[in-house]
Amino acid sequence: MTVIEMKSGIIEEIQEWKEKRNAILLAHNYQLPEIQDIADVLGDSLQLARAAAETSADVIVFCGVHFMAETAAMLNPEKTVLLPDLEAGCSLADSITADQLRAWKAEHPGAVVVAYVNTTAEVKAESDYCCTSSNAVDIVRSIPEDKEILFLPDMFLGSFVQRETGRENMHIWMGECHVHAGIAPEHVEDVLTEHPEAELLVHPECGCSTSSMYLMSEGILPKDKTHILSTGNMLKHSKDSQADEFIVATEVGIIHQMQKQNPEKRFVPANRQAVCPFMKMITLEKVLDALKENKHVITVPADTAEKAKLSIERMISIG
């Protein structure tokens, strides 16, 4: 039996088990290509959170990382949420704990806490708003200007939001995603030299995002060809744009979907090494095992979920 035949057989079995269990398969844009191809909903963190909140399925199989499955579990306490690999974590979510956040809040009494969705349930429970890269600017703009803001945990996204909103009373936690932080300005410069006519798509978590904003403001990067976007908006922009070549500064997994949507266009990663090992842990075999053996059920303590739910609902409703 060939590899293609084996995969085809596993996919058929996954479809059968999905029907048996009334399950939905949610997958992030950074997943392996074969996982993206079988997903019922494929998207960024905000799109997947909304899909989890709206689904009528009994079982949610989350092909992403741990904090995403936690968010789905908090939105659906009556449903079964499965994460096919418990080791699928997130270096950014690990960069702040609930205890650290409580200590930070004590230093800034009365401040509004805006937490990126890449955080644990315990951190979300200590926050006033959650956000994703696609609505972080809208959420900060919705907060009264006289309110001090604690933004966490990603320093690159925080810097982008601060620059976009002009908020001077905004404090930023010094956390980072090790994959996005590894996409440096010199990577972008090198690829731009090789592809001078390409549009540049930059995720705001990237280590090159701050320099890209500065270079745009100085006229060194053309504003009409440089776009700082969430993964979901990168997909939309690359589909709608008249350009035929794009440099993509984010985790390379998204290029599979970009190429699939736009077979006539060319997509070049800013850094070919920008691969998240956690996002690549989930395989077809693990998805099948999850459905057959109920692996691995993700739950959140009721008191934590209750505290966190308001911040998550605010994230879903804005932007």
Same domain, 231 and 291: no
Q: Which of these ranges, 167-176, 186-195, 303-312, has the smallest mean pLDDT?
A: 186-195
Same domain, 265 and 189: yes
Residue 239: pLDDT above 90? yes
**177 assigned to a ligand binding site:** yes
**159 assigned to a ligand binding site:** no
Residue 168: pLDDT above 70? yes
**204 assigned to a ligand binding site:** yes
Q: Give the total number of structural domains in the chain.
A: 3
What's the confidence (pLDDT) of residue 45? 83
What's the confidence (pLDDT) of residue 223? 77
**30 assigned to a ligand binding site:** no
Higher-confidence residue of 42 and 6: namely: 42
Same domain, 25 and 60: yes
273 secondary structure, DSSP code: T
Domain assignment of residue 156, given as a range: 93-178+307-317
What span, in angstroms and rounded, lies between the C-alpha atoms of 142 and 135? 11
Residue 59: CATH number of its domain? 3.40.50.10800
Please state, for a pLDDT cut of 90, what percent of the chain lies above it. Answer: 79
What span, in angstroms and rounded, lies between the C-alpha atoms of 164 and 185? 20
**212 assigned to a ligand binding site:** no
Residue 268: pLDDT above 70? yes
Is the peptide bond prior to 195 cis by the omega test (within 30 degrees of 0)? no
**133 assigned to a ligand binding site:** yes
Q: What is the pTM of this model?
A: 0.90
**130 assigned to a ligand binding site:** no
**196 assigned to a ligand binding site:** no
**Close Cβ partners of 123 (under 8 Å, ≥ 6 residues apart):** 93, 96, 97, 98, 101, 115, 152, 153
Same domain, 115 and 149: yes
Same domain, 161 and 190: no
Contact 153, 117 (CB under 8 A): no
**264 assigned to a ligand binding site:** no
Q: Is residue 274 part of a domain?
A: no
Q: How confident is the model at residue 114 (pLDDT cuts 50, 70, 90)?
A: very high
- For the chain, what is the mean pLDDT? 93
Same domain, 106 and 136: yes
Residue 165: pLDDT above 80? yes
What span, in angstroms and rounded, lies between the C-alpha atoms of 170 and 172? 7
At 188-213, the pLDDT tens digits run 889 989 999 999 999 988 887 767 76
